[in-house]
Amino acid sequence: MESPVLSYLRKVHAELAELRDGTPYSVGPSSADLNPADFGIALATVDGHVYEVGTTRKQFSLQSISKPLSYGFAIAELGMDAVDAHVDVEPSGDPFNEISSNPETGRPANAMINAGAIAVASLIKGSGGRTPIQRIEHTYSEFAARRLRSDGREYRAERARSDRNHGLAYLLSAAGVVEGDPTRALETYLRQCAVQVDCRDLAMIAATLASGGTNPVTGTEVLPYEAVERVLSVMMTSGMYDDAGDWATSVGLPAKSGVGGGIIAVLPGQVGLAVYSPPLDKHGNSVRGAAACRRISSDLQMHFVRSARQGRSAIRSIRTIDQEPSNIRRTEAAADVLQEQSERALVLELAGDLFFAGTETVVRELTSRAPEIDVVVIDVRDVDEVGDAGIRMINAVFQDFRENGREILLVDPDDVLGGVDTRGITVFDSRDRAIAECEHRLLERYGGPEAMPRAVPVVDSPVLAPLDRADAEALASHMNPRHYDDGDVIRRVGQRFGGVFFILSGTISIVASHTDGTRFRLRTLGAGMTFGELALGEDDRQETTAKAEGPVEVMVLTADEIEALEERDPALAVQLWRALSRDAYMRVDRLSRANAARIRD
């Protein structure tokens, strides 16, 4: 099917093609080739996809659309202050070719009028064997992700009738605003106006501005973000000839038009829009171009007020530790401690952006709850973007927590909080491990020795709880003790069922593989828990690998012993299997609830 975006643009194109007002600008040899019916719309996303309708591949002169590009280039080259010393940022309210300059400073009102653009052109110097215009062409090409060139014949035609601009250049030179030879500055300016583009190029240029200065296709950083911010600000108030207020109000997008018939409009962070249609209104804006921007901004809700990021809390969920227990089975004493102290440990899941508004809610929550908190797990894996203000606010909270002995456990495998000071903060790659550690620290603070068992005798294993003592001891008598060292693989994926392993002491990691072969920790087991039995689930094969983390003591009821037991003492075997089933059922119930909870969150 055709993309609805394309269908939509086609519809807008068909409707606005009916507009017959306006007159094309006819200077230069290519004006013979100008067709008032030509009309193209191109929309480029910040991931580089371009939608095109109509005349989007016909070349024309960039003209004044060059002004914001060179302005940004000059800022990138010389810095904001140096450029500001030559050009102001005030809307002029005057037509583009007016000599609008500050009576006190002589600075042109802004870089979107000719006087300002000529001043800007004078600031761009040759370098590395390249002339100013060659460097400008190079930068424009980076914007468009395609080699763009200035057309000599167009340039000469414009130059032949640029008396007014010549005069302007000399006046600006007299005022100290144009640097160096005013004729050179003017020539550079006129050549940049004669750079040939098509409508698709313009969309890509606009998308580069939309993505903060980085071309979405090539990934080249054409302009630094600060320069783009400035360029778009000035485009918002002064980009459209002579109706800046109306444009900012009704379209609400930074835009720039050129008498070549092009217009670009930029929705920061989202979209670059370009229109080409030669007939111009009395201000010098493309009639269909302005109409298309107006229409599309309204339909797609691109106005700066509407498209502002919403101040949504970055907190996806906030739970006390009892509401999100780890996969580690605890003794009854430990479970009681965790239950009683559950308010003292929080698990926060953050999502979305940590700019001011999103972070403010997180920080508000943490500061207001701080007095009750000992440990907090903060899972930031679903955070998209982090702003400077967010980093500063988080730093302040982290510092306060550190100073007051509150512990922070961060789940941040991708270093989303790269800019945050994480001294003294443990960073985990999985939420489960962080939660397990969180419980551990709570138990260290509040649990007695019975809550932190060093070793669990096999007869006290919760799995065997349904058996009476004699049966449990009878079973234990069929088991063999084994010792493993840190890193030992005890069961490997693919091995046949080798029996049921009862952990007496130490920690076991259960590692599984994704379908793509990458491995991940499925769960962590401790004293009193069992492993190995799940191999019975599927073809009697281990689906996972069990690995010792530090020294581990286990008792194994081997597959052979179980088989022998089923022969010799089927009643005891029934007890064993019934206990194992019960244990598995508890796990199924807990897991399916956890799953349901996550799906519903």
Cβ atoms of 206 and 273 within 8 Å: the answer is yes
Q: Which of 33, 181, 246, 414 binds its own copies (CB under 8 A)?
A: 246
Longest dimension (CA), the chain: 112
The binder of its own copies chosen from 15, 33, 340, 400 (CB under 8 A) = 400
Q: How far is the CB of 514 from its own copies (least distance, A)?
A: 8
Which of 281, 115, 258 has the alpha carbon at shortest distance from 195?
Answer: 258
Q: Judged by CB, which is closer to its own copies: 188, or 214?
A: 214
Query: How far apart, in whole angstroms, are the C-alpha atoms of residue 356 and residue 193?
Result: 40
Q: Is 507 helix (H, G, I), strand (E, B) or coil?
A: strand
Q: Which stretch binds its own copies (CB under 8 A): 71-79, 83-91, 275-283, 484-492?
A: 83-91
Binding of its own copies at residue 303 (CB under 8 A)?
yes
How many residues contact its own copies, by CB under 8 A? Answer: 124
For position 522 contacting its own copies by CB under 8 A, the verdict is: yes
Closest CA to 507 of 437, 427, 590: 437
Contact residue for its own copies among 52, 137, 142, 353 (CB under 8 A): 353
Among 2, 81, 104, 163, binds its own copies (CB under 8 A): 2
The answer to whether residue 447 forms part of the interface with its own copies (CB under 8 A) is: no
Q: Restricting to residues 370-389, which ones interact with its own copies according to CB under 8 A?
A: 370, 384-385, 387-389
Residues 6+ apart with CB under 8 A from 575: 466, 467, 471, 475
Q: Which residue has the tokens 């918002």?
A: 236
Q: Which is nearer to its own copies, 457 or 466 (CB)?
A: 466
Residue 280 CA to residue 193 CA, distance in Å, equals 17
Annotated binding site: 64, 114, 158, 165, 189, 241, 259
Minimum distance, C-beta of residue 182 to its own copies, in the bound complex (Å): 25
> Quick check: 598 binds its own copies (CB under 8 A)?
yes
Contact status, residue 112 vs residue 233, Cβ threshold 8 Å: no
523-552 positions binding its own copies, by CB under 8 A: 523, 533-538, 543-544
Asked whether position 419 contacts its own copies by CB under 8 A, the answer is no
Closest to its own copies by CB, 170 vs 304, is: 304
The verdict on 301 binding its own copies (CB under 8 A) reads: yes
Q: Which range, of 59-67, 176-184, 257-265, 565-573, touches its own copies by CB under 8 A?
A: 565-573
- Quick one: 593 exposed, middle or buried, by C-beta within 10 A (0-12, 13-18, 19+)? exposed
Residue 341 buriedness (CB in 10 A; 0-12 / 13-18 / 19+): buried
Verify binding: residue 356, its own copies, rule CB under 8 A. yes
Between 169 and 565, name the residue whose CB sits nearer to its own copies.
565
Least distance in angstroms from the C-beta of 342 to its own copies = 12
Distance from the first to the final alpha carbon of the chain: 34
Residue 52 Cβ vs its own copies, minimum distance, rounded to whole Å: 14
Least Å from the CB of residue 396 to its own copies: 3
Which residue among 174, 470, 564, 574 contacts its own copies (CB under 8 A)? 574
**In the window 28-67, what residues touch its own copies (CB under 8 A)?**
45-47, 49
Minimum CB distance to its own copies, residue 553 (Å): 24
**323 contributes a contact to its own copies by CB under 8 A:** yes
How many other C-beta atoms lie within 10 A of the C-beta of residue 426? 16
Query: Is 238 one of the binding residues for its own copies (CB under 8 A)?
Result: yes
Separation between Cα atoms, residue 80 and residue 163, nearest integer Å: 30
If binding is defined by CB under 8 A, does position 105 make contact with its own copies?
Answer: no
Asked if residue 517 binds its own copies (CB under 8 A), the reply is: no
Kindly state whether residue 477 participates in binding its own copies, applying the rule CB under 8 A.
no
Return d(Cα 9, Cα 42) in angstroms, integer.
Answer: 8
Annotated binding site for substrate: 64, 114, 158, 165, 189, 241, 259
159 belongs to the binding site for its own copies (CB under 8 A):
no
Distances (CA, A) of 202 to 43, 127, 226, 244: 9, 26, 21, 21
Do the bridges between strand 426-428 and strand 60-61 make them parallel or antiparallel, or are there none, so unpaired? unpaired
How far apart are CB 106 and its own copies at their closest, in Å? 17
Residue listed under structure tokens 């005890």? 490
3-state secondary structure 107-172: CECCCCCHHHHHHHHHHCCCECCECHHHHHHHHHHHHHCCCCCECHHHHHHHHCCCHHHHHHHHHH
- Please report, as a single letter, which amino acid is at residue 563: E
Determine the 3-state secondary structure of 331 from DSSP. coil
Query: Rounded to 5 degrees, what are φ and ψ at 375?
Result: -135, 140
**Out of 145, 193, 267, 546, the residue judged to bind its own copies by CB under 8 A:** 267
By CB under 8 A, which span of 20-28, 60-68, 233-241, 456-464 interacts with its own copies?
233-241
Contact flag: residue 444 with its own copies (CB under 8 A): no
Q: Is 416 in the site for its own copies (CB under 8 A)?
A: no
Q: Do 15 and 284 meet the contact criterion of CB atoms below 8 Å apart?
A: no
Cα 389 from Cα 429, distance rounded (Å): 25
Nearer to its own copies, 155 or 401 (CB): 401
Q: Which stretch binds its own copies (CB under 8 A): 149-157, 336-344, 456-464, 591-599?
A: 591-599
- The CA distance from 540 to 518, in Å, is 23
